[in-house]
Homo-oligomer: A and B are copies of this chain.
Amino acid sequence: MESLKGFKRTTYCGTPRPGDIGRDVAVCGWVQRRRDLGQLIFIDLRDRTGILQLAFDDSTDREIFKKAFTVRSEFVLAARGKLRERSSKNKDLPTGEVELEVTELRVLAESETPPFEIVDNSDVNDMLRLKYRYLDLRRPEMQRAIAVRHKVVKTARDYFDESGFYEIETPMLTKSTPEGARDYLVPSRVHPGKFYALPQSPQQYKQMLMLAGFDKYFQIARCFRDEDLRADRQPEFTQIDLEMSFVETDDVIAVNEGFLKTVFKNVLNIDIDTPILRVPYAEAMERYGSDKPDLRFGLELKNVSDLVQNCGFKVFSDPVAAGGSVRLISVPGGAEAFPRKQIDALVEFVKTYGAKGLAWMRLGADGVSSSFAKFMTEEENEKIIARAGAKTGDLILIVADGRDKTVFTALGALRIECARRLGLIRKDDYKLLWVTEFPMFEYSEEEGRYVAVHHPFTAPMDEDIDKLETDKQNCRAKAYDIVLNGIELGGGSIRISTPEMQETVFRALGFTSEEAQERFGYFINAFKYGAPPHGGLAYGLDRLVMLLVGADSIRDVIAFPKVQNASEPMTSSPDAVDKKQLDELKIGLTRDTLTT
């Protein structure tokens, strides 16, 4: 192996252009491939910026030529020489019109044959990729993802700094709360039997920073949640977290619209229109069956409960009578696009979302067919078609349920499924909206009481303060989510800032003062010493970057992600540890662990 000693790189591989021909440059990188053509050897040298062709021919020093002949994929080279015009140009490569006539070559490191080729879109098993993550990350796609991630966080830091925010670090070793069922715990050697918790978010600390008068705070904060990893979650994830004092909802939204505008411009060179559309929660549910609607396509929900409440078809009328609803979507061109068999698949689809079934009406060119028309009058059917705004060629899909929530969930999902099947969803289309006026409370069957939808420190809307104790169901919060293409990018709220209001909300949640004190301790006390009105928001950074690079999973925008079972294949963490370490912490494994 040769040393780098005295070798100064002058140029990244991906940067030379025809204008650079004649320049002496020095490059370093990895061998993407070597091609031998008898008297000619070409080596594609790769670094984070791209690929440059190194050329060795008759004019090359024989020792160098011989050395070039020995290199293999993923060897690490340093090469110096003169840039010259390439005889056979490669239009697919930004550097495809030039090549390096090599006059000095060093093999800095050799490589065994890697377990997979370093190229995008190859058919490599995910576990193998992650085990050799340091090789997987060499792929251009991963290089780009990490570069974009850097750009997004840099943009965030610049933007919030310019907007007067301080970046302030909050602790990682925090206190577990009774709400913290999914806290990661950290035993303390100094305090045997006591535990820290890793933060699920910096929520309490950032509110303390507002009480401390820092006025505007942000942090790109690692957060932790020990839960069964559902689709595309990570045990550790990153939030762009911010909080502001002396603000109302409009102020928080305005700052964040500026941020989103800047990110989209910097990363995708896209101008997004501001102000961004705001849709109240209730309207989002009514129209899209979702509190994070994808606005890249229509297929809006329509409520036909009033049309069917007295009809002869009990599948429709009973749910309405039970306080539920009957709603539909009309799929343009669906009559053709979804033959009977595919409709059956849609029926199965909505069942996975809790719907009992799916009624349909097909407005084919050859006439109307329907799963229910015969149970209803002609007039009733006509009215449904009219409400749906359907015309010949369309397909109407109807869900009825005694619980509104089920109707929304099923139709909301079906709306997306139909759009996907019809190819209505463009990946390069970016539709942002704010969903506002979330409910304060939702009834938890499990706990037998109303619980906070957001968290118990969220302020109610001024108009709904009198509903806090009398009409919880309809009490709305000063809470807002920012949604992009059907995915929640972030969410936040205006917080409660007076002890009186906090006490009222705790009472509404069914806590006595003593219970609240026990649960939230120091946090409640802090508000006795002058809290400013404040509010904030937190973005899921991983998701934001995923959407911006067009990746399918947040795993593709995290350098060293965990897999579904929360382990990391490269380092094999988590792992067993020495008993000595546990002894020092004064903890032991329980018997069923030892025997498994």
Contact = CB atoms under 8 A, between A and B. Distances in A.
Interface of A: 1, 3-5, 7, 9, 28-31, 46-48, 74-76, 78, 108-112, 114, 131-138, 142-143, 146-147, 149-150, 153-154, 157, 161, 166-176, 178, 181, 183-198, 204-205, 208-209, 211-215, 222, 224, 226, 228-229, 235-236, 238, 245-248, 462, 497-498, 500, 521-522, 526-533, 558-560, 562, 565-568, 570-578, 581-583, 585-590, 592-594, 596
Given A108-B497, A185-B187, A588-B590, A596 B193 contact: yes
Contacts of A147: 166
A70 to B, nearest CB: 14
Contact of A170 (B560, B582, B588): B560
Nearest to A157: B157
A498 to B, nearest CB: 5
A207 to B, nearest CB: 9
Given A111-B530, A588-B587, A198 B176 contact: no
Contact of A108 (B132, B532, B558, B583): B532
Q: Which 6 A-B pairs have the closest CB atoms?
A: A137-B212, A175-B573, A111-B530, A194-B574, A586-B593, A193-B593
A5 B248 contact: yes
A146 to B, nearest CB: 6
A497 B109 contact: yes
6 contacts: A29-B213, A149-B168, A173-B573, A188-B566, A191-B566, A195-B575
Contacts of A28: 245-246, 532
A192 B589 CA distance: 8
Contacts of A194: 574-576
Nearest to A191: B574
Q: State the copy count for this chain.
A: 2
A590 B581 contact: no
B111 A528 contact: yes
Nearest to A168: B559
A4 B157 contact: no
B143 A214 contact: yes
A191 B567 contact: yes
A554 to B, nearest CB: 12
Contacts of A114: 529
Contacts of A30: 213, 530
Contacts of A1: 498, 500
Contacts of A209: 134, 137, 559
A185 B588 contact: no
A35 to B, nearest CB: 19
Contacts of A571: 174-175, 204, 521-522
A186 B186 contact: yes
Contacts of A189: 226
Contacts of A586: 589-590, 592-593
B222 A172 contact: yes
Contacts of A166: 146-147, 150
A112 B192 contact: no
